[in-house]
Structure 1
Amino acid sequence: MIRVTDGTKIRTITIDRPESRNALTSDGLDGLAEAVETTDLPVIYLRGQGTAFCAGADLDTVAELNKDSAEAFAERGQHTANAIERAESVVVAGIDGFARGGGVELALACDLRVATPGATFAEPGVQLGIFGAWGGTARLPEIVGLGDALDLALSGRVVDAEEARRIGLISRITDDPRAVAEEVAENAPDALRVVKARVRDRSSMGVQAAREAERFGELVAEHAENIAATRD
């Protein structure tokens, strides 16, 4: 279900279950988390096989859950989304086609979300009497704002790539999302790690400022020759 291919700078992780629109079972969630956590390459490119990015939770799995096992399944999805968000690698979601529910939630955990013109997005859980519980209720309003988050989560409606870009759900629309991952991978790996950590730091402003200055000093010292060369 989870296929991994390593290049020089990019680990490509493919959710490879196209017959179910790449819906994830418990094993799939565990495999995805492991794939994210076991690389030191500077960039991870996350994609889906076939005509979908990810349909979210496998509904055959969900239908068999009771209260306790459903809670455990949600926690499993949260662990996977947290692994994506906390990875030292920059994680780029390449979204081509269908992204629904947990698939949107996993994309929200990524650092960059890049979609093709034909990509569509929805949080349709309310139509089944449930909701996305892989961290989406926290990340969605943080990324798109409270009003648009409530609109998407309470209506279950489908939005296209243009609207997703307008509300900030994705950062770019392109025919080749992987090219964005390759663009990011051309930058200095240590700088990528530091920038990701600093931007995602939710500490107080004072703590963030001190950490930012410290890491900036370390990077300037590390890359002094490159910086000097640009002045010539």
Structure 2
Amino acid sequence: MIRTTAAGDVRVVTLARPERRNALDRDALRDLAASVAAATEPVLYLRGEGAAFCAGADLSVVRDLDAAAAAEFAALGQRVAATIEAYDGAVVAGIDGPARGGGVELALACDLRVATPEATLAEPGVALGLFGAWGGTHRLPRVVGESAALDLALSGRVVDADEARRLGLVSRVVADPRAAADDLAAVDHRALRRLKRLFRDRRADRAARRRAEARERAAFADLAPAADP
């Protein structure tokens, strides 16, 4: 479900499950983390195959989770997002079509989120009695500010590409997001990597992140459908 190809100095990582809008189950999350960890190119480009970027967690998996399994599934998603965020190079999310829930959370872990005009983004977990637990509760307010983050998370509303750009949720709206990755690959790679590390280290309060993620896992486990008495 994860396909990787090298194109010069860009590693393209494709979520390749178009029949499920690239929804992610445990195997896909593990494969995604392994693909990112194995890459060495200065630029990594994350995209979805077909008409969607990523629908987030596979709901057929989520529906069967008890509290313990829900905490484990949240921890797995958090590790994947952390692996993307820690990549030693620039990571570009090319968002074409819908990004929902965990798909938004994975995009938030990237350095740049570049959307097409057809992109739409939402954190719809509240409608299902859940919420995104892959690090979104600390990354979303960092990216768009607390007020906008609460609006998006509590309402679950869908925003189009233009509103996402106004909010700062995406960096650019362009016809071809891949071009942004190619542009980054053309700069000095040593400078790119060092600049990325400086930005990453600036926000690297690891103890605070661990506490936030522990709270996410616990809350998600409490809300897991199969955890109801």
Both proteins in one fold, TM over 0.5: yes
2:73 is matched with which residue? Answer: 73
Q: What corresponds to 2:25 in structure 1?
A: 25
Sequence identity percentage: 61
SS state of the match for residue 54, structure 1? coil
Separation (CA, whole Å) in 1 of partners of 2:74 and 2:128: 16
SS at match of 1:47: strand
Q: Which runs of 5 or more residues in structure 2 are unaligned? A: 205-229
SS of residue paired to 1:141 = helix
Correspondence for 2:123: 123
Letter in 1 for 2:97: G
SS of the residue corresponding to residue 24 of structure 1 reads coil
Separation in 2, partners of 1:203, 1:19? 37
Question: Which residue pairs with 2:224 in the alignment?
Answer: none
Q: Per-residue displacement from partner, 1:99-147 (whole Å, max 9, x unpaired)?
A: 0000000000000000000100000000010000000000000000000
Distance (Å, rounded) in 2 between the aligned partners of 1:69 and 1:6: 35
Matches within 5 A, 1:52-201: 52-201=52-201
Aligned amino acid, residue 9 of structure 2: K
Query: Letter of the aligned partner of 2:117 in structure 1?
Result: P
Runs of 4+ aligned residues of structure 1 deviating over 2 Å after TM superposition are none
Shift of 1:202: 3.0
Per the normalisation by structure 2, the TM-score is 0.88
AA partner of residue 141 (structure 1): P
Task: Indicate the residue corresponding to 1:5 in structure 2.
Answer: 5
Change (3 A) 1:203 1:17: closer
Task: Measure, in 2, the Cα distance between the counterparts of 1:55 and 1:26.
Answer: 14
Deviations 1:27-46 (A, max 9, x none): 00001111111011100000
User: Greater CA radius of gyration, 1 or 2?
Assistant: 1
Instruction: For residues 9-65 of structure 1, give each alpha carbon's deviation from its aligned partner in whole angstroms, at most 9, with x where no partner exists.
Output: 010000000011000000000011111110111000000000000000000011111
TM-score (norm 1): 0.87
The reply on whether 1:15 has 2:15 as its aligned counterpart is yes
SS of corresponding position for 2:132? coil
Other-structure match for 1:39: 39
Q: Which structure would you say has the larger RCO, counting Cα contacts within 8 Å and 6 or more residues apart?
A: 2
RMSD across aligned positions (CA): 1.0
SS in 2 for 1:13: strand
Aligned residues: 204
